[in-house]
Copies of this chain bind each other. A is one copy, B any other.
Amino acid sequence: MPRRSSGRVTLQHIAERVGVTKITVSRALREPHLVSAALRLRIESAIDELGYIPNHSAGALASGRSHSVALLIPSLSNSVFSEIQRGIEEGLSEAGYQVLIGHTGYSILEEERLIDTYLRYGVEALILPGSRHTDHARRLLTRARVPVVETLELTETPLDINVGLDQHEAGKAMTQTFLDQGYRRVGFLGARMDYRAQLRMAGWEAAMQQAGLSTERCLTTPHPSSYRLGGEMLASMLERWPDLEGIFCGNDDLAAGALFECQRRRMNVPGQLALAGFNGLDITEATSPPLATVVTPRRRIGETIATRLLARLQGAPPTPISENLGFQIRRGGSL
């Protein structure tokens, strides 16, 4: 006698309808070549007559495989991650993996919570934004013995697979571009100030110091970045350092916001003030003038992650590896 009247159609129901045992139905679904063609057809028609929906939990429990992979992203409104996601999804879904997306909101505590949750779900791999994690998260990951990808930035000590680009180097290169163009009083504007933003800023500092220039013209905030914020912060910077010649913004949103503020003030860009952003999002090509930016190979990052992860899932040895996919400087017209 059933404990619950779940009403749900199970393999057993299909099996009875067709007059076989459930293992045969299970086979017809997972290894059709092992079931005779005639029977397979009868099973298939019974399945859609009755509306059978496989129970993933039961399958995962019995087989010890979940066929799913967790992808944690910091923000649901940033095309940086959506393009990476597309590359990953494409590669993994083809290989039969379901990609479960989680949203950390740039918080490593939330990341920790999600890692825990998804390990309970039995994901076969985790893809994490960044290389900064809580201690507890590291412990969970180590114990779980599951492939882990850390992405976006590079790290000297990857947990496992690391695919990204050198954010510090990129920040330095963009700053150097300002300097090459003859700008000297170059400031830095940053928001959110997650670890990657800090690396970019450090790159700016390094380049400035190397050139013997001041790094005082720097304004940052922990608030999430936005177009509005870019404008407001630019205003503050101009007030504080009226002699600014150029500003390297930690991302494209801030740079665009800063550009709008310049337009509002009828300041010529780059004549009176040069601007640059980071990431190479669509907007940098649309503004007038187009924004200088660091173009990051997001799509390729996603694809590379998929490739490397599949290799690991298919048994490649767990050798920590760091892959640097580089970046490109685009001067746009704002620098």
**A 244-261 contacts with B by CB, 8 A:** 256-257, 260-261
A121 and B230: CB pair below 8 A?
Answer: no
A230 and B263: CB pair below 8 A?
Answer: no
CA distance A4 to B79 in the complex (A): 42
In the complex, residue of chain B having the shortest beta-carbon distance to the beta carbon of A266:
B288
**A 103-156 contacts with B by CB, 8 A:** 103, 116-117, 119-122, 139-140, 143-145
A120 and B51: CB pair below 8 A?
Answer: no
- Contacts known (A6-B64, A85-B103, A101-B102); A282 close to B55, Cβ less than 8 A: no
**A 206-222 contacts with B by CB, 8 A:** none
A286 and B144: CB pair below 8 A?
Answer: no
B89 and A103: CB pair below 8 A?
Answer: yes
- Cβ–Cβ < 8 Å partners of A81 in chain B: 76-77
- Cβ–Cβ < 8 Å partners of A140 in chain B: 51, 53
In the complex, residue of chain B having the shortest beta-carbon distance to the beta carbon of A122:
B57
- Cβ–Cβ < 8 Å partners of A288 in chain B: 260-261, 263-264
* A283 touches which of B57, B102, B227 (Cβ 8 Å): B227
* A100 touches which of B53, B100, B256, B285 (Cβ 8 Å): B100
| A291 shortest CB reach to chain B, Å | 11
Copies assembled: 2
With an 8 A cutoff between CB atoms, is A287 at the interface? yes
A103 and B103: CB pair below 8 A?
Answer: no
- Cβ–Cβ < 8 Å partners of A185 in chain B: none
With an 8 A cutoff between CB atoms, is A32 at the interface? no
* A60 touches which of B7, B57, B78 (Cβ 8 Å): B57
| A90 shortest CB reach to chain B, Å | 11
| A6 shortest CB reach to chain B, Å | 6
B231 and A260: CB pair below 8 A?
Answer: no
A61 and B57: CB pair below 8 A?
Answer: yes
- Cβ–Cβ < 8 Å partners of A58 in chain B: 57, 61
CA distance A72 to B263 in the complex (A): 38
Q: Which of A54, A57, A120 has the most CB of B within 10 A?
A: A57
B287 and A260: CB pair below 8 A?
Answer: yes
With an 8 A cutoff between CB atoms, is A26 at the interface? no
A226 and B282: CB pair below 8 A?
Answer: yes
B287 and A57: CB pair below 8 A?
Answer: no
- Cβ–Cβ < 8 Å partners of A120 in chain B: 53-56
In the complex, residue of chain B having the shortest beta-carbon distance to the beta carbon of A79:
B77
- Cβ–Cβ < 8 Å partners of A264 in chain B: 288
- Cβ–Cβ < 8 Å partners of A53 in chain B: 116, 119-120, 140, 143-144
In the complex, residue of chain B having the shortest beta-carbon distance to the beta carbon of A51:
B143
* A282 touches which of B66, B83, B227 (Cβ 8 Å): B227
- Cβ–Cβ < 8 Å partners of A287 in chain B: 227, 260
- Cβ–Cβ < 8 Å partners of A78 in chain B: 77
7 A-B residue pairs with Cβ-Cβ distance under 8 Å, sorted by A, are A56-B122, A76-B82, A77-B81, A77-B82, A226-B286, A227-B286, A228-B286
Given contacts A57-B122, A77-B78, 20 further A-B contacts (CB under 8 A): A4-B64, A53-B140, A53-B143, A54-B120, A55-B61, A55-B120, A57-B60, A57-B61, A61-B61, A73-B76, A76-B77, A76-B101, A77-B79, A77-B82, A101-B103, A226-B282, A228-B285, A230-B286, A260-B286, A260-B287
